[in-house]
Amino acid sequence: MTIGVGLLGLGTVGAGVADILSNPSGRHPLVGQLELRRVAVRDVSRPRPVALADHLLTTDPEAVVDDPAVDIVVEVIGGLEPARSLILRAIAAGKPVVTANKAVIARYGQEIAAAAAARGVYVLIEAAVGGGIPIIEPLKQSLGANRIQRVSGIINGTTNYILSRMASEGAAYGDVLAEAQRLGYAEADPAADVEGGDAADKISILATLAYGGSIERSAIPTEGISRLEARDVDYAAQLGFVVKLLAVAEHLGSDPDGTEQLDVRVHPTLLPKDHPLAGVHGVNNAILVEGEPVGQVMFYGPGAGAGPTSSAVVADILNIAGIRQAAGANGALDPLLAAGSWRQCRLVESGLTQHRNYVRLETTDEAGVIGRIGTCFGREQVSIQSIVQFETSGGAAEIVVITHEVSEASFRAALAAIADLPEVQTVAATLRTL
């Protein structure tokens, strides 16, 4: 039996999906049973990267959702609206949805999951995080038996490309970004990528799946790479680290009422060169899941682009199509495939979290400066792992400190005291360290 697919959006990902559906040869036989029945585009007269019959195209996305020939709705428009409303409209009509939209799922995932559960339809989101890397279904299903201690990932390809080139060439952030934009690796408006918002959307989704409770997206502390200086990438390398934009979700403990305490954050991070994520370069993504009893499992691959993302979208369509075929159109929901909350989670106030840190200070170059800096850290119980003086010229010095794992509040208090020392011109950079 043929299954009708309705596509909302025919941009990079939509065209990739249309291409797979129109070329089923050599793929799973179910692909040949999927038929593209309606496609919503912004402008029907625009040239298309894929050949589609004119009668399939419409500028009315609601007509795609409402079309009785459409059994599964695929949302690849992106952005919050009308994407959210269209997803809810499809659910209300009893149609399963496949979406690549991390922004909508990170903000409205609970509303959408509740509507889907009430109506008994699937909403599958494999393409929303990590492009072609399977990470959503593994977290929901294959790793379901574990207590997840931490999920950490390089989940933004644009920033990883920029950081990789900064590290290999010693280039400045602004220069690499400008070239990435020329080459089409970075958007004309790169804010969502370089300021960390895209990675925060994605880690919010991964944390929700790993810990089984909703995460307040707007509460995730997020720092991008736009203020990162080439000299910090260089000093980090000299100290045995690689700088990556890391998104992390970590389980810290439980409240007496059972609410799970999580530390979820996005920031540039110094990784030891032998860390599994340190060797992930260019536009690739990788996600490291640490759980008990499984240990460390790493997922690696292309995190964006037409081919990888449409691979994930079509896999979700096939999952739904397979279940429909096995169970009939009104077959029972598979509880492990369906997203759902089973716990309360809260983000722990950032001052109460513990981290290792990298600090670069610009100081005068004279006797006793390192001692006074050390005293400020010591007074706040901030233990130093290493302290190194780098550039020295004209009576000025750059001092880089790596701390042991310390409380964020103590670290901030020590930094405030250091900034007040007359020998310290500026706290020039602070970065997290693994």
User: Which tokens in the block code for residue 182?
Assistant: 């020329």
Nearer to ligand HSE, 261 or 310 (CB): 310
Residue 132 vs 212, nearer CB to ligand HSE: 132
Pick the catalytic residue from 95, 102, 140, 202: 202
Task: Output the smallest distance, CB 305 to ligand HSE, in A.
Answer: 8
CA 210 to chain centre: 14
- Complex with ligand HSE: residue 13 or 424, whichever CB lies closer: 13
Cβ distance to ligand HSE smaller for residue 66 or 179: 179
CB 249 to ligand HSE: min, Å: 17
- Residue 244 CB, shortest distance to ligand HSE, in Å, is 13
- CB under 8 Å to 282, separation ≥6 — which residues? 157, 160, 161, 164
Q: How far is CA 197 from CA 46, 50, 93, 225, in A?
A: 31, 31, 32, 11
Spell 210-241 as b/e; 16+ CB within 10 A means b. Answer: bbbbbbebeebebbbbbebebbbbebbbebeb
The CB-of-272 to ligand HSE minimum distance in angstroms stands at: 24
Shortest distance in whole angstroms from residue 202 CB to ligand HSE: 7
Q: Of 21 and 283, which has the nearer Cβ to ligand HSE?
A: 283
* Residue-wise DSSP of 383-409: -EEEEEEEEEETTEEEEEEEE-SEEHH
Minimum distance from CB of 285 to ligand HSE (Å)? 7
Report how far residue 36's alpha carbon sits from residue 20's, in angstroms, rounded to the nearest whole number.
Answer: 10
Residue type, 303: G
Residues with Cβ within 8 Å of 327's Cβ and at least 6 positions away in sequence, in order, are none
Residues near 339 by beta carbon (within 8 Å), at least 6 away in sequence = 109, 113, 116, 123, 125, 140, 208, 209
Q: Quick check: 163 and 244 in contact, CB under 8 A?
A: yes
Instruction: Name which of 14 and 303 has its Cβ closer to ligand HSE.
Output: 303
Q: Which residues contact 194 (CB under 8 A, 6 or more apart)?
A: 158, 159, 162, 177, 186, 224, 225, 226
Contact set with ligand HSE (CB under 6 A): 156-158, 193, 198, 303-304
Q: Is the CB of 41 or the CB of 192 nearer to ligand HSE?
A: 192
Reply yes or no on whether 244 is catalytic: no
d(CA 420, CA 216): 35
Least distance (Å) from ligand HSE to the CB of residue 317? 19
Rounded Cα distance, 81 and 104, in Å: 8
Radius of gyration of the chain (CA): 24
Report the catalytic residues: 202
